């Protein structure tokens, strides 16, 4: 789903809803919460990516799943002049981009099927082909890249299937092969031997395809952990999570800066006595007399409930502990003796001390999952 595209008026009095098709109502009266996406950081991250890959490597940013929750259309529009193509997972995502005016090539990762095959032609989308059945589906005039499996065992043609596929490709002169690619399964780990092995195999297999075809392998992990040692830049790279400012694995990458900050505000606060519990299940008790604040954000908006009692929030640059169970729509924060004024901005995520990678580590996932799960109900505001 495309995210809300809203503009924040300078007086903050109301939000203008631009995406009229959306059934999600943005709370126009109160700025209870929003996400800010900073395009200047996007450009810094692009620079960090190009600094890691071989000169003249094309960028094909991965903007699947609404650009990992950042909004595919605004991100694509902003990047259009600097990149050669875009990658999405579903053809429907490509359709939305085309209808918003994106002209760059769009590669679709999932295999085509009989229900969606028509849009590859009508909206000029590049199919990923890994089986002869995919080739058979493609209508004359369509373009495709061959996806080869070199070890991930998810999508991609197996080594056994490749000869059959190559023969079928020879026969289909009415469709256009434009590229060949593979995907690394352990590139987020800087010390894995699997990347070199997959690369070796890809080197062998890609040679059977025409020299003019585009070759590409690298995701974020490969770009930041391997591209300096291994010749995996080829013609193009497919940066995903790094584009949005997050490292692909546990190892932090200093040159990246998160685009996204998630902001809410204090809507309530109340005094608690020493030993009193707060929220469901009484999972936290006040260590002393003080104040507990409330923000109107909960797990229904994509804040992981597993972070209960495990995260911090920033108010005027100072970090406060989140306390008690995170609830569906509200989350509590321990203010100590600070009776912070109602309406004060409260940050859940920022590009500094509060990063999605930290949430990911605490909830045993990756930054990709954190940002893609932030609900489209949360308005996105674009700056820079």
Ligand X SMILES: *Cc1c(COP(=O)(O)O)cnc(C)c1O
Which residues contribute to the site for ligand X (CB under 6 A)? Answer: 62, 64, 109, 183, 219-221, 238-242, 248, 368
3-state secondary structure of 178: strand
Backbone torsions φ then ψ of 309, nearest 5 degrees: 65, 15
The residue number with the shortest CB distance to ligand X is 240
Q: How many CB atoms lie within 10 A of CB 25?
A: 9
Q: How far is the CB of 204 from ligand X (least distance, A)?
A: 20
Q: How far is the CB of 156 from ligand X (least distance, A)?
A: 9
- Smaller CB separation from ligand X, 182 or 308: 182
231 Cβ partners below 8 Å, 6+ apart? 54, 199
- Smaller CB separation from ligand X, 249 or 293: 249
The CA distance from 372 to 67, in Å, is 8
- Smaller CB separation from ligand X, 102 or 241: 241
Q: How far is the CB of 128 from ligand X (least distance, A)?
A: 8
Q: How far is the CB of 224 from ligand X (least distance, A)?
A: 9
Backbone torsions φ then ψ of 153, nearest 5 degrees: 55, 45
Q: Give the tokens for residue 303.
A: 């804040």
- Smaller CB separation from ligand X, 368 or 380: 368
Report the phi/psi class of residue 349: left, alpha or beta, with left for phi > 0 and alpha for psi in -120 to 50.
Answer: beta
Q: Give the tokens for residue 219.
A: 């995701």
- Smaller CB separation from ligand X, 214 or 323: 214
- Smaller CB separation from ligand X, 186 or 368: 368
What's the burial of 153, exposed, middle or buried (CB within 10 Å: 0-12/13-18/19+)?
exposed
Q: How far is the CB of 154 from ligand X (least distance, A)?
A: 8
> What is the number of alpha carbons within 13 Å of residue 106 lying toward its C-beta?
30
Q: Give the tokens for residue 100.
A: 């918003």
Q: How far is the CB of 252 from ligand X (least distance, A)?
A: 15
Q: Which residue bears the tokens 């991100």?
A: 75
Going along 176-330, which residue ranges are E strands?
Answer: 176-181, 214-216, 236-237, 260-265, 268-272, 290-295, 312-315, 318-323
Q: How far is the CB of 123 from ligand X (least distance, A)?
A: 20
Q: How far is the CB of 345 from ligand X (least distance, A)?
A: 30
The CA distance from 98 to 108, in Å, is 13
Q: How far is the CB of 343 from ligand X (least distance, A)?
A: 37
Cα-based torsion angle of the residue sequence 99, 105, 106, 108 in order, rounded to the nearest 10 degrees = 140
What's the burial of 223, exposed, middle or buried (CB within 10 Å: 0-12/13-18/19+)?
buried
3-state secondary structure of 51: helix
Backbone torsions φ then ψ of 148, nearest 5 degrees: -110, 130
- Smaller CB separation from ligand X, 64 or 269: 64
- Smaller CB separation from ligand X, 62 or 349: 62
Q: How far is the CB of 258 from ligand X (least distance, A)?
A: 14
- Smaller CB separation from ligand X, 137 or 241: 241
Q: Give the tokens for residue 239.
A: 């940066």
Report the phi/psi class of residue 23: left, alpha or beta, with left for phi > 0 and alpha for psi in -120 to 50.
Answer: alpha
Strand partners, 144: 127, 177
Q: Give the tokens for residue 152.
A: 């991930």
């Amino acid at each position: 789903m495309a995210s809300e595209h809203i503009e924040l008026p300078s007086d903050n009095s109301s939000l203008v809803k631009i995406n009229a098709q959306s059934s999600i109502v943005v709370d126009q009266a109160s700025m209870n919460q929003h996400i800010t996406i900073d395009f200047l950081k996007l450009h810094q991250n692009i620079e960090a990516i190009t600094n890691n890959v071989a000169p003249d490597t094309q960028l094909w940013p991965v903007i699947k799943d609404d650009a990992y929750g950042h909004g595919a259309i605004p991100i694509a529009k902003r990047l259009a002049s600097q990149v050669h193509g875009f990658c999405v997972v579903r053809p429907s995502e490509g359709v939305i981009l085309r209808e918003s005016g994106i002209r760059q090539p769009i590669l679709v990762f999932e295999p085509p099927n009989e229900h969606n095959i028509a849009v590859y032609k009508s909206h000029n989308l590049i199919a990923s082909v890994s089986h002869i059945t995919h080739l058979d589906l493609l209508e004359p005039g369509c373009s495709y890249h061959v996806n080869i499996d070199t070890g991930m065992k998810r999508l991609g043609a197996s080594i056994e299937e490749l000869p059959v596929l190559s023969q079928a490709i020879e026969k289909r002169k009415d469709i256009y092969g434009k590229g060949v690619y593979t995907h690394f399964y352990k590139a987020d780990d800087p010390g894995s031997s699997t990347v070199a092995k997959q690369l070796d195999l890809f080197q062998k297999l890609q040679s059977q395809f025409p020299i003019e075809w585009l070759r590409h392998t690298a995701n974020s992990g490969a770009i930041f952990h391997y591209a300096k040692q291994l010749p995996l830049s080829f013609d193009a790279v497919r940066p995903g999570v790094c584009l949005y400012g997050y490292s692909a694995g546990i190892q932090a990458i200093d040159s990246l800066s998160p685009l996204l900050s998630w902001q809410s505000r204090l809507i309530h606060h109340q005094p608690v006595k020493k030993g009193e519990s707060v929220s469901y299940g009484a999972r936290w008790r006040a260590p002393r007399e003080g104040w507990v604040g409330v923000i109107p954000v909960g797990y229904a908006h994509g804040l992981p409930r597993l972070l209960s009692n495990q995260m911090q929030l920033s108010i005027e640059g100072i970090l406060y502990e989140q306390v008690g169970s995170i609830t569906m729509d509200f989350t509590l924060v321990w203010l100590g003796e600070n009776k912070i004024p109602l309406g004060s901005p409260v940050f859940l995520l920022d590009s500094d001390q509060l990063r999605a990678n930290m949430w990911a580590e605490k909830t045993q996932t990756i930054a990709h999952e954190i940002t893609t799960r932030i609900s489209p109900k949360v308005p996105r505001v674009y700056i820079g």
